[in-house]
Amino acid sequence: MTEQAACRGRLVIISGPSGAGKSTVVRQLLEVSPVPLHKSVSATTRAPRQGERDGRDYYFLDRDEFARRRQAGEFLECKEVFGRGDWYGTLWSEVATGLEAGKWVLLEIDVEGAWSVEQQVPDALTIFLHPGSMDELERRLRSRGTETDQSVRRRLEVAQREMAARQRYRFEVVNDSVAQAVQDICRILKLRGDEARCSKN
């Protein structure tokens, strides 16, 4: 067996409040990761934001299709986020494809989704990314300009609950600077990658 084949893929979960800069950090992380990282594309029923592409940012499904796949057991986890009827979920197919290829599969999911996955995959590496304070989070959410005032307030309420759950993650990373946050996560992955004697493809 080659060293690559002997190297087990691993699940990496990144959560954090909406507005914490997860997408930007993850995009840069994928370019410089010290382990072979594959980002799982989630499915959602929410509408695409400007610039988002189906199959790259999310699989944008209508509610019937989402419900059909849910009933067919196609999700590792799924849930309604923000209580406004938008569903989000991790597809088994995304995770299996990555792991079978020897990759580390990255899930960018919310706190409840993270617990659900951790119960099923206890050695998942869990990382909580946040901007340091609720004030900073609000400033970032408002400057994004994509949310209504009501939506910002709802996201802040959820963020408060999520911030309270951050001690349950194995690692906490503050996103003061994107470059620093990416470097911090790389260090975590490298540490674990060295333990598993993984090498990048």
Give the per-residue contact string, 7-26, with ligand 5GP (x = CB under 6 A; - = no).
-----------x--------
Q: For ligand 5GP, which stretch binds (CB under 6 A), given 5-13, 29-37, 104-112, 127-135?
A: 104-112
12 beta partners: 106, 125
Nearest to 28 by CA among 200, 201, 187, 182: 182
Nearer to ligand 5GP, 7 or 181 (CB): 181
Compute the distance between CA of residue 200 and CA of residue 192 in angstroms, rounded to an integer: 13
Q: For ligand 5GP, which stretch binds (CB under 6 A), given 60-68, 85-93, 122-130, 172-180?
A: 85-93
- Half-sphere exposure (Cβ direction) of 80: Cα atoms closer than 13 Å: 6
The arrangement of strands across the sheet holding 11-15 comes to: 37-39, 104-108, 11-15, 125-130, 171-174
59 beta partners: 43
Residue 90 within binding range of ligand 5GP, rule CB under 6 A: yes
Nearer to ligand 5GP, 9 or 21 (CB): 21
In angstroms, the Cα distances linking 41 to 45, 107, 156 are 13, 8, 24
Q: Contact at 8 Å (CB) between 7 and 104?
A: no
Q: For ligand 5GP, which stretch binds (CB under 6 A), given 73-81, 122-130, 132-140, 193-201?
A: 73-81
Residue 108 within binding range of ligand 5GP, rule CB under 6 A: yes
Residue 88 within binding range of ligand 5GP, rule CB under 6 A: yes
Residues that bind ligand 5GP (CB under 6 A): 18, 42, 46, 77, 79, 81, 88-90, 108-110, 113
